[in-house]
Structure 1
Amino acid sequence: MKKFPLLLCLVYMITTSFYPASSENFSHPTVSVKEIKLSPKKNFSPQNPAEEIYKELQFTDEKLNFEVFEKAFLGFQNLKKSRKLVPSAKLLSICDFSLSSNRKRLWVIDLDEKKVLFNTLVAHGKGTGEEFATNFSNTEDSHQSSLGFYITEQAYNGDNGYSMRLFGMDKGYNDAALERCIVMHGANYVSEDFIRSEKRLGRSWGCPAVSREMAQPIIDTIKNQTCLFIYYPDQNYLASSEWLKNAEKTDPILGSPKQNMATN
């Protein structure tokens, strides 16, 4: 008979060993999930090179909007990948035509040195707007500015003095620049004196005109195959420009970047 209670105890111990733990003690899986929770994705992706460069830039007059710089930098990189620019290209010029023409809205940036080389006034076309740019065109005699990416060409002396030809890279938006004689040049109406007199900057016939005194130093710096981006928040343009696509264009057969060089 003494063995019977012993047997009952043994059975009790075996059966109760399979009971679930209490809710308090069963919280370990939840704690584990919290511990292995990933940080936001941006902390695990490579550093944004546009952001790294932008942080180093010293803006003394007007500060360039980061979103504009980021778009310009993306296009610059895509132009290099497509071999429209030489691999060693490092200069990026940006006109932000969303700003008042009374502000210094042209920046020339050395991306390697992370340095702003120039920040100055720049005119838009008389058909584009008064103080503010609103309308853009790729059409002859529209006297309007054209949006998009350009590759700078050679300098020359013309009717407007020291000037620089521009090759438009966005089909339907600025690829008629050479035919329209859209160039960078100096102009007397691009000055602080003109702004004080007329309450706005003077206007060109579609060219990104700068002041007479700044024309030669800027042109000599950015001529011969550097990148110029004329920005305006036109959603049709921003959505359609091939240079603002994040995915790299590849050859469907070779799987490598297309090598269709721009011709002068």
Structure 2
Amino acid sequence: MKFYTPHSLLPVLLLGLMGLGAGCQSAGGEVAAARQSATVAIPVSAPVVPPVPAVDSLASTPLAPLPNVSPELRAAVTELRARLGPEAAALRPEVLERACVGYLNLRQSGRISRPGILAIADMDLPSSEPRLWVLDLRAGQVLHRSPVAHGRGSGEGVQARRFSNTIKSACTALGFYRTQDTYRGKHGLSRRLRGLDAGHNDNALRRYVVLHSADYVSTAFMEQHGQAGNSRGCPALPPDQYRAIIGAVGEGGCLYLSGPGLESKWLDGAGAARRLAAQGWL
């Protein structure tokens, strides 16, 4: 039997690859082995992984329409939003609907006493935007629109990420508030706030959560930093607007701080519809 050296194996390999003399060396088996070792590997394509969509960290949390709102009440809120005009274009319809439902129920319960005035802050919007509106519901008019700060415990970036009612948390607390009396403190003219949602914001008076002025919500600060600064939990206001806003909401008014995850007993569509039918926006 003839044995092949590594150099003499090359012709056999070439013959094997070309398919010539396929069965000539069956007795020794070298050709079969050479064929096996010379098999050309075909690359297997990696599975195609679809790209992960980018997450917009400034996107607001979607809010489903309230389930128990009558067509009449929903139509009234839609008409109100249309009357408010361009100044309310950034006020999300779902937030306005919740604020109006809560306002009507609070009026019915006597928890708020200032008729027709509703202040709404959408704390799910970035602090770089004017996210506070003061509305005259009867006139269908935006009285004021301004930036508003959130607490540093809710996030020192442009977006509020967490909310808390806990004392010393420095967080914004979501829910419905009754505007209380005014006083002069270290921030000048300020208005106290009473939280009306148990477990969500009812520590507001104990936490000294108030409407007040702050330089970190000024136009100059926001132009320099691209966002408002942070409070210790207060919805702080721009120095050039705070007096007018504090005066417009008055004592006994309704302030709604909207944000993700808020559940409130005041969001009762059936009760709100009865109040609207009986008293309108008064």
TM-score, normalisation: structure 2: 0.68
- Code of the aligned partner of 1:146: A
Partner of 2:267: 244
Deviation at 1:83, TM superposition (A): 1.6
> 2: distance between equivalents of 1:115 and 1:122?
20
Residue 149 (structure 1) aligned to one of 164, 168, 176: 176
Q: What's the CA shift for 1:56?
A: 0.6
What code does the residue aligned with 2:86 have?
Answer: F
Contact 1:149–1:169 (CA under 8 A) maintained in structure 2 = yes
The alignment status of 1:118 with 2:141, answered yes or no, reads no
Is 1:72 aligned to residue 99 of structure 2?
Answer: yes
Amino acid corresponding to residue 240 of structure 1 in structure 2: E
Q: 1:76 to 1:220 in 2, by over 3 A?
A: same
Q: 2:252 aligns with which of 210, 219, 225?
A: 225
Cα deviation, residue 223, structure 1: 2.0
Sort the Cα spacing of 1:81 and 1:56 in 2 relative to 1 into closer, same or farther, 3 A.
same
Contact 2:122–2:131 at 8 Å: present in 1 too?
A: yes
Distance 1:204 1:166, change over 3 A: same
Tell me what 1:49 maps to: 76
In structure 2, how many angstroms separate the alpha carbons of the residues matched to 1:44 and 1:122?
Answer: 33
Task: Name the aligned partner's letter for residue 141 of structure 2.
Answer: K
Q: What SS does structure 2 have at the residue aligned with 1:94?
A: strand
Q: Percent of aligned positions with the same letter in both sequences?
A: 38
8 Å CA contact 1:62, 1:104 repeated in 2: no
1:47 is displaced (CA, Å) by 6.4
User: Do the aligned partners of residues 99 and 45 (structure 1) sit closer, same or farther apart at CA in structure 2, a change above 3 Å counting?
Assistant: closer
User: Which residue, out of 203, 219, 231, partners 1:176?
Assistant: 203
Distance 2:238 2:129 in 1: 13
Is the 2:178–2:196 Cα contact (8 Å) retained in structure 1? yes
Q: Deviations over 1:15-61 (max 9, x none)?
A: xxxxxxxxxxxxxxxxxxxxxxxxxxx99857622112111112338
Is the counterpart of residue 135 in structure 1 residue 162 in structure 2?
A: yes
Distance in structure 2 (CA, Å) of the matches to 1:181 and 1:202: 18
Q: Deviation at 1:192?
A: 2.4
Q: The residue matched to 1:212 in structure 2 has which SS?
A: coil
Q: Distance in 2 between matches of 1:227 and 1:43?
A: 22
Q: 2:77 and 2:270 mapped to 1: Cα distance? A: 16
Superposed CA deviations along residues 126-162 of structure 1, whole A, max 9, x for unmatched, are 1111210111010111000000000101111101111
Alpha-carbon separation, structure 2, partners of 1:43 and 1:140: 38
Equivalent pair of 1:62/1:103 in contact (CA under 8 Å): no
Distance between the aligned counterparts of 2:252 and 2:72, measured in 1? 32
Structure 1 gaps, min length 5: 1-41, 250-255, 258-264
Aligned to 1:24: none
How many angstroms does 1:198 deviate by?
2.2
1:20 equivalent in structure 2: none
Alignment-mate amino acid for residue 179 of structure 1:
R
> Residue 72 and residue 120 in structure 1: after superposition, are their counterparts in 2 closer, same or farther (change >3 A)?
same
1:166 aligns with 2:210: no
Distance in 2 (CA, whole Å) between partners of 1:44 and 1:123 is: 35
Which stretch of the first structure deviates more once superposed, 194-203 or 149-158?
A: 194-203
Aligned to 2:22: none
* Moved beyond 3 Å, runs of 4+: 42-47
Q: In 1, are the aligned partners of 2:70 and 2:269 still within 8 Å (CA)? A: no
Residue 108 of structure 1 aligns to which amino acid in structure 2?
Answer: V
Judge conservation of contact 1:125–1:206 (CA < 8 Å) in 2. yes
Conservation of the 8 A alpha-carbon contact between 1:62 and 1:105:
no
Q: CA deviation at 1:70?
A: 0.5
